[in-house]
Amino acid sequence: MDMQLTGKTAVVTGASRGIGLATVSALIGEGMRVVAAARTITPELKETGAVPVAVDLSTPDGPSRLIEHAVAEFGGLDVLVNNVGGGDTPGQASGFLSLTDRQWSEMVELNFLAAVRASRAAMPHLVERRGAIVTVSSNGARIPQSGPIAYTTAKAALTAFGKALAEEFGPQGVRVNTVSPGPVRTALWEGPGSYGAELASSMGLSHEDLLAGLPAGAGMLTGRLVEPEEVATLITYLASPLAASITGADHLVDAGSVKTV
């Protein structure tokens, strides 16, 4: 299916691995020009053909500098994918009373304020081109007891933020949606020293045993983790003109983990 994105420009944050990397590849596959932002530019990201930008998006001026770079490179902007985030800061599996103000601030800066700042910098350009924002949240925003509290709280704010943006800027032609995956096969769960590894240790399990039991424990009806490419496919569709009447919605990609209507 032609997503009608050829020749358009996108910015993707958190692009070096996982969902971000898969999204960059998917958008380029649809003929888009992509500016891909990450703290560290990986060989895999370079191979996609995107324009890589090394930037720390948890800093106050990082997102605006990124958007300025993209607009200078390609003369405008059609799509912003707010994907940067993470819950693998050490100590996230230890519970509420163990978290310091600094840890809370780090989670909010990366998982919420980075998207706020990038969206603010991008919005005038998106209004000009009647573009779209797709923000990656988490199904933990709806079931916060299932994940690290600082991370899921920041993601809940992110989901609400997307809804509010859609309401304000929809009449100006900008569509805003969020995508909320369940556990995805990424470094967050599978990497050494990751949140998944820390959670396994806190539960007295091996990392391998935790991952093996995670789909069932999370109520995933497919019996497996979500693949990054599956999330990227939905992001690509929501970014495209084919989704012209879809805005202000939060789209679950969690294999049925959230059971509420």
Q: Which one of 74, 112, 151, 161 is the catalytic residue?
A: 151
pLDDT band (50, 70, 90) for residue 147: low
Q: Is 237 a catalytic residue?
A: no
List b or e across 231-249, with b for residues whose CB sees 16 or more CB atoms inside 10 angstroms: bbbbbbbbbbeebeeebee
Q: Where are the domains of the chain?
A: 9-253
Q: What is the pLDDT of residue 94?
A: 77
pLDDT tens sequence across 23-51 = 999 999 999 999 999 999 999 999 999 99
Mean pLDDT value across the chain: 95
Mean predicted confidence (pLDDT) in 160-187: 97
Q: What percent of the chain is modeled with pLDDT above 70?
A: 98
Sign of the dihedral through C-alpha 14, 157, 260, 250: negative
pLDDT digits (tens, 9 = 90+) for 44-99: 999 999 999 999 999 999 999 999 999 999 999 999 999 999 866 677 777 889 88
CATH top class, domain 9-253? alpha beta
Q: What percent of the chain has pLDDT over 90?
A: 86
Q: What is the pLDDT of residue 88?
A: 65
101-130 burial string, b = 16+ CB within 10 Å, else e? eebeebbbbbbbbbbbbbbebbbebbeeee
